[in-house]
Amino acid sequence: MNKPLATLRQIRRIVLHAIPTVIGIVILNFFLLKLAPGDAADVMAAEAGSATEETMTALRRSMGLDLTLLDQLKNYLFSLARFDLGYSPRYGMPVIDLIMERLPGTLLLMGIALGLAILLGILLGALMAAFAGRAVDRVLSIASLLFYSVPGFWIGLVLILTFSVKLGLLPSGGSGTIGSDLTGWAAFQDKLRYMVLPALSLALFYVAIYARLTRAAMLEIRNQDFVRTARAKGLSPVRVTFSHILRNALIPVTTMAGMHFGNMLGGAVVVETVFSWPGLGRLAFEAVMARDFNVLLGILLLSSLVVIIVNGLVDLLQARLDPRIGAE
């Protein structure tokens, strides 16, 4: 089958599957959030210190909270059909504008953390497979198990204590030097300094998973018939490792990476809070505390779309790594 045609058919299948998935996610998230006690009016009244019953009624009416649950859902779905995520009473601005302010920071953090986790995981996994059963394999296995077992927030606090407090090498929080007017390469370096610790804190948990996956896959693949055939043809060990063994071992790694991209958003809530990183995770935490359900619904919807898109890209990548997958 023609490769571009097969790719187009795969993209169309992904889109057709994504539409009912997104609709189901929106409805499920809406009802789950409405089960939570309290609303934005209660929080605003508590912060004001006092509120009369008439004030609370007027406040809920202005937010549309006096409507029945089904009417609220209907209004929200109609708003989504117009690409309107609603208005945030907490921040006094449209939800879409609020999310777009925070989205680049979270995507950058998650992208770097995931790339770092995959790169380190594949390198460690390849080393573990090359020295399987020996001291190097045992030491790396113990180290990866340690990072897998330790909570992300504890790793973040240890990194802050080590590299910020003790050594003074890296900042402990934020996303850039306050008040600086840096541009170009200097601005990039400044941003990178603030990103190292949160990205590393978010990545270390997943390094262990990718390392173990790569090790297991390489040990299984190197004993298969097509690898023995490649060696019999006289191919160099390096070419056999990279072109045949490692390439096929990347398939389970990319599958898990697509699944973990969504999980990373949950981890970003903790990491962004610990490092004061201005992203969607921290915004979601603030929205929960303020009962700002419009913001939460917008974040959940957008994160769902991002996960669906990333999983679609992973499917396309796997089809490139193994053409048999795209033909299924």
Q: Per residue in 45-67, pLDDT tens?
A: 776 666 677 777 787 787 777 77
CATH 3.30.700.30 fits 101-326, yes or no: no
243 pLDDT higher than 70: no
Map the chain to HEC letters.
Answer: CCHHHHHHHHHHHHHHHHHHHHHHHHHHHHHHHHCCCCCHHHHHHHHHCCCCHHHHHHHHHHHCCCCCHHHHHHHHHHHHHCCCCCEECCCCEEHHHHHHHHHHHHHHHHHHHHHHHHHHHHHHHHHHHHCCCCHHHHHHHHHHHHHHHCCHHHHHHHHHHHHHHHCCCCCCCCCCCCCCCCCHHHHHHHHHHHHHHHHHHHHHHHHHHHHHHHHHHHHHHCCCHHHHHHHHCCCCHHHHHHHHHHHHHHHHHHHHHHHHHHHHHHHHHHHHHHCCCCCHHHHHHHHHHHCCHHHHHHHHHHHHHHHHHHHHHHHHHHHHHCHHHHCC
- DSSP strand pairing (93-94 vs 87-88): antiparallel
Predicted local distance difference test score (pLDDT) of residue 18: 79
Predicted local distance difference test score (pLDDT) of residue 67: 79
Taking alpha carbons only, the member of 95, 108, 111 closest to residue 292 is 95
Contact by Cβ (8 Å): 296, 280: no
68 pLDDT higher than 60: yes
**What's the rounded Cα separation, in Å, for the pair 263 and 230?**
38
Residue that wins the pLDDT comparison between 22 and 45: 22
pLDDT tens profile 204-214: 888 888 888 88
Indicate the pLDDT class of residue 23, thresholds 50, 70 and 90.
Answer: confident
Average pLDDT over residues 68-78: 85
Indicate the pLDDT class of residue 10, thresholds 50, 70 and 90.
Answer: confident
**What's the rounded Cα separation, in Å, for the pair 231 and 313?**
32
254 pLDDT higher than 60: yes
Domain ranges of the chain: 101-326
Indicate the pLDDT class of residue 79, thresholds 50, 70 and 90.
Answer: confident
Q: Give me the chain's average pLDDT, please.
A: 79
Contact by Cβ (8 Å): 238, 118: no
- Residue 127 exposed, middle or buried by CB count within 10 Å (0-12, 13-18, 19+): middle
Highest mean pLDDT: which range of 148-157, 161-170, 226-235, 258-267: 161-170
Phi-psi category of 197—alpha, beta or left, where left has phi over 0 and alpha has psi -120 to 50? Answer: alpha
